[in-house]
Amino acid sequence: MYINNDKLQPDSLNEILALRPDGAQNGKKSVDNLESRMKGALIGRFAGCMLGIPVEMYSVAAMQAIALENDMAFPPVNYWTGTDNPEKIHYRVNKRTDYLLQNIDKVAVDDDITYVILNLLLLEKYGKNYTVNDIAELWLDILPYACTAEEEALEQLKAGTRPECAANFNRYVEWIGAAIRADAFGYAEPGNPEAAAKLSYNDAYLTHRKNGIYGEMFCAAAVAAAFTAKTPLDAVKEGMKQIPKDSDLYKELEWALSYEGKLTNYLRARQLLDERFPKMHPVHTINNMCAIVFALILGGNDYTKCISDCVAIGLDNDCTGATVGSIAGACLGFEAIPSYWYEKFNNTVKTYLTGYETLALDDVIARFMKLAQK
């Protein structure tokens, strides 16, 4: 059973770094085939997210029922072809039906997609030495709305609260919001998980504390590590080295990794999560990071199986699907992603950022390549 432990879980960067396990300072590794890996990471993330959106936080039984009604395989090996809520509007822009296989003609709107672009813009405008104040300025300028921790922080900023204090009374400081903003920092520091984790810290601090911060540092580091890792799961193991070894998140990731070589299917994975975290909210950082580990154990070096099992496990499965897709795509490269996952994207990415509602996918990839080479 998961037991919360508030000891040895600092919020300051220097204290966090001091409590990392051995091997944290592993330096930058040379990345082979950077363009293929960057393209794989971004397309992998977008596809994993799009697969999860129609069933975000659905129970396993509910997902199975939709698959059965639409004569689909489950876990899903392609985009959904039906939905139980066709009129739902996602982030005030796209209908739920826009995420179905027969209607996909772009990377449609989602927060997991929007935050990748937001942090691309952050790094382009302020550089890799950006501050918490810089993030606040950018958010107030182009982020019109948000959810949970991000929404509360944004409202605090609008009320005049100093950015470094925006999360002090936030109810969601250990939820998954910071972790889903991490990937851009991993893309900016490919092959250097320590630098990626440090780069993500200020972004996390605006909205999160303790395990919420560690979630973003872990994901940023894992994505960076994936560019040189032998397997996606190896990237996770490297990413863990950038968070405090006595933190709740680190210990629970160790627990999840203990099932390497033992876990056989998504149903057992979800059962283990439900037993371990019976009272934890499905949008919490810790249970969702463990779901990511389980998906990568099950998926191995098969991109489709990684995102398929991740979405089937459930919880906040558009977010975890995005992160798993990013790690697997960076590790395996663009060529390892079957074309049906991206051929209908039409080189178009949608966000809800003011002034950046539509971007060209190849331009986004090129801009991250430029950041990575600085």
Distance CA 182, CA 249 (A): 16
Inter-residue contact 41 to 307 (CB < 8 Å): no
3 state DSSP class of 310: helix
Q: How far is CA 68 from the centre of its chain?
A: 28
C-beta separation of 67 from 51 below 8 A: no
| Per-residue confidence (pLDDT) for residue 6, from 0 to 100 | 65
pLDDT for the residue numbered 308: 98
- pTM, two decimal places: 0.97
Res 1: pLDDT:
39
Take residue 323 and report the two structure tokens written for it.
Answer: 């992160």
> What is the distance between the alpha carbons of residues 236 and 219, in angstroms, rounded to a whole number?
8
The answer for 300, left when phi > 0, alpha when psi is -120 to 50, beta otherwise, is left
Q: What is the predicted pLDDT for the residue at 3?
A: 46
SS3 293: helix
Beta bridge partners of 89: 95
Residue 359, strand partner residues = 349
3-state secondary structure 239-278: HHCCCCCCCHHHHHHHHHHCCCCCCCCHHHHHHHHHHHCC
33 — alpha (psi -120 to 50), left (phi > 0) or beta?
left
Task: Give the type of residue at 83.
Answer: T
Tokens representing 374 are 């600085």
CA–CA separation, 285 and 273 (whole Å)? 13
Q: Residue 364 and residue 49: Cα distance in Å, rounded?
A: 17
What are the φ/ψ torsions at residue 208 (nearest 5 degrees)? -130, 165
pLDDT by position in tens, the chain (length 374): 344 456 689 999 999 999 999 988 888 999 999 999 999 999 999 999 999 999 999 999 999 999 999 999 999 999 999 999 998 988 888 999 999 999 999 999 999 999 999 999 999 999 999 999 999 999 999 999 999 999 999 999 999 999 999 999 999 999 999 999 999 999 999 999 999 999 999 999 999 999 999 999 999 999 999 999 999 999 999 999 999 999 999 999 999 999 999 999 999 999 999 999 999 999 999 999 999 999 999 999 999 999 999 999 999 999 999 999 999 999 999 999 999 999 999 999 999 999 999 999 999 999 999 999 98
- 136, 167, 361, 365 from 38: Cα distances, Å: 27, 32, 12, 7
Q: Check the CA dihedral 8-236-182-227 and report its sign.
A: positive
Q: What is the DSSP code string of 318-370?
A: HHHHHHHHHHHHHHH-GGGS-GGGTTTSTTEEE--STT-SEEEHHHHHHHHHH
Cα separation, 316 vs 305, whole angstroms: 18
d(CA 148, CA 41): 26
pLDDT of residue 104: 98
Domains of the chain: 21-372 (1.10.4080.10)
**Distance from chain centroid for Cα 92:** 21
Closest CA to 325 of 39, 117, 54: 39
Nearest to 294 by CA among 319, 325, 266, 275: 266
Sequence-separated (6 or more) residues with CB below 8 Å from residue 288: 176, 179, 282, 315, 316, 319, 320
